[in-house]
Structure 1
Amino acid sequence: MTTAPLVIAHRGASGYRPEHSEAAYRLAVELGADAIEPDIVASRDGVLVLRHENEISGTTDVATRPEFADRRTTKRIEGADVEGWFTEDLTWAELATLTVRERLPELRPLSASHDGEGRMLRLSDLLRLLDDAGRRVGLVAEIKHATYFDSIGLPLDQFVADELRSAGWIDDERLTIESFEQTVLDRVRDRGVGGRSVYLLEKRGAAADLVARFGSAAPTYTSQLEESSLAALAAAGRHGISLDKSTLVGPDGTTEARVVDAAHAAGLEVFTWTLRAENAFLARAHRGPGGREARGDFATEFRSLMELGVDGVFADQPELAIAVRDALRPGVGGRV
Structure 2
Amino acid sequence: MSSLLLFSVFGLSACNSDDDKTHVTKPPILPDTGFVIVGHRGASALRPEHTLAAYQKAIDDGADFIEPDLVPTKDGYLIARHESEISGTTNISTLSQFSDRKTTKRIDGIDYTGWFTEDFNLNELTQNVKARERIAQYRPNNTQYNDQYSIPTLEQIIELADAHYKKTGKIVGLYIETKHPTFFQQQNLAMEDHLLSTLAKYSYTREIAPVYLQSFETTNLKYLRDQLTQKKTLKHGKIIQLLDSPTAIPGDLQQQSSPQNYASLATAEGLKSVAKYADGVGPSKTYIFSNTEFKQTSFVKDAHAAGLKVHPYTLRPENGFLPDYLKCNSVATERCDTGAAKEFENFYKAGVDGVFADDPGLARKTLTQLQKP
TM-score range, shorter chain: over 0.9
Match of 1:61 in 2: 91
RMSD of aligned alpha carbons: 1.4
Q: What secondary structure does 1:58 align onto?
A: coil
Q: Distance in 1 between matches of 2:208 and 2:91?
A: 35
Q: Distance in 1 between matches of 2:249 and 2:255?
A: 10
Question: Which of 149, 155, 175 matches 1:124?
Answer: 155
Contact 2:287–2:297 (CA<8 Å) still a contact in 1?
A: no
- Counterpart amino acid of residue 92 in structure 1: L
Question: Which of 25, 32, 39 matches 2:69?
Answer: 39
Q: What secondary structure does 1:74 align onto?
A: strand
Q: Summarize deviations over 1:256-295 as a string: whole Å, max 9, x none.
A: 2401001001100001000101010000111122610112
Alignment of 1:188-203 (within 5 A): 188-191=224-227, 192=231, 194=234, 195-203=237-245
Contact 1:255–1:304 (CA<8 Å) still a contact in 2?
A: no
Match of 2:113 in 1: 83
Q: Distance in 1 between matches of 2:249 and 2:372?
A: 39
Match of 1:294 in 2: 334
**Number of corresponding residues:** 328
Q: Distance in 2 between matches of 1:6 and 1:255?
A: 23
Contact 1:160–1:188 (CA<8 Å) still a contact in 2?
A: no
Q: What secondary structure does 1:275 align onto?
A: coil
Alignment partner of 1:207 is 2:250: yes
Q: Distance in 2 between matches of 1:253 and 1:315?
A: 21
Q: Distance in 1 between matches of 2:185 and 2:85?
A: 16
Question: Which of 195, 200, 204 matches 1:165?
Answer: 200
Report the alpha carbon displacement of residue 172 of structure 1 after superposing the two structures with TM. 4.7
Alignment partner of 1:281 is 2:312: no
Contact 1:185–1:197 (CA<8 Å) still a contact in 2?
A: yes
Question: Which of 263, 284, 293 matches 2:303?
Answer: 263
Unaligned runs of 5+ in 2: 8-34
Q: What secondary structure does 1:111 align onto?
A: helix
Q: Distance in 1 between matches of 2:47 and 2:348?
A: 25
Q: Distance in 1 between matches of 2:191 and 2:208?
A: 19
Report the alpha carbon displacement of residue 106 of structure 1 after superposing the two structures with TM. 2.2
Match of 1:308 in 2: 350
Contact 2:42–2:66 (CA<8 Å) still a contact in 1?
A: yes
Contact 2:171–2:209 (CA<8 Å) still a contact in 1?
A: no
Q: What secondary structure does 1:113 align onto?
A: helix
Contact 1:255–1:305 (CA<8 Å) still a contact in 2?
A: no
Q: Distance in 2 between matches of 1:330 and 1:147?
A: 46
Contact 2:311–2:353 (CA<8 Å) still a contact in 1?
A: yes
Q: Summarize deviations over 1:29-65 as a string: whole Å, max 9, x none.
A: 1111111001011000000000010000011110000
More RCO (CA 8 Å, sep 6+):
1
Match of 1:334 in 2: none
Match of 1:108 in 2: 139
Alignment of 1:90-105 (within 5 A): 90-96=120-126, 97-105=128-136
Task: Give percent identity, aligned residues only.
Answer: 37
Q: Structure 2 length normalisation: TM-score?
A: 0.85
- Counterpart amino acid of residue 220 in structure 1: N
Between structure 1 and structure 2, the one with the greater Rg is 2
Q: Distance in 2 between matches of 1:281 and 1:253?
A: 14
Q: Distance in 2 between matches of 1:330 and 1:137?
A: 24
Alignment of 1:217-228 (within 5 A): 217-228=258-269
- Counterpart amino acid of residue 267 in structure 2: E
- Counterpart amino acid of residue 369 in structure 2: A
Q: Distance in 2 between matches of 1:180 and 1:155?
A: 15
Report the alpha carbon displacement of residue 165 of structure 1 after superposing the two structures with TM. 1.7
Q: Distance in 2 between matches of 1:3 and 1:173?
A: 21
Match of 2:12 in 1: none
Q: Distance in 2 between matches of 1:91 and 1:116?
A: 19
Contact 1:257–1:308 (CA<8 Å) still a contact in 2?
A: no
- Check 1:92–1:130 CA distance in 2 against 1; reply closer, same or farther (3 A cut): same
Match of 2:363 in 1: 321
Report the alpha carbon displacement of residue 171 of structure 1 after superposing the two structures with TM. 5.6
- Counterpart amino acid of residue 200 in structure 1: L
Q: What secondary structure does 1:149 align onto?
A: helix
Alignment partner of 1:183 is 2:183: no
Q: Summarize deviations over 1:122-181 as a string: whole Å, max 9, x none.
A: 000000000011311111001110000000000111111121122232465411111111
Alignment partner of 1:3 is 2:6: yes
Alignment partner of 1:48 is 2:78: yes
Report the alpha carbon displacement of residue 238 of structure 1 after superposing the two structures with TM. 0.7
Contact 1:7–1:314 (CA<8 Å) still a contact in 2?
A: yes
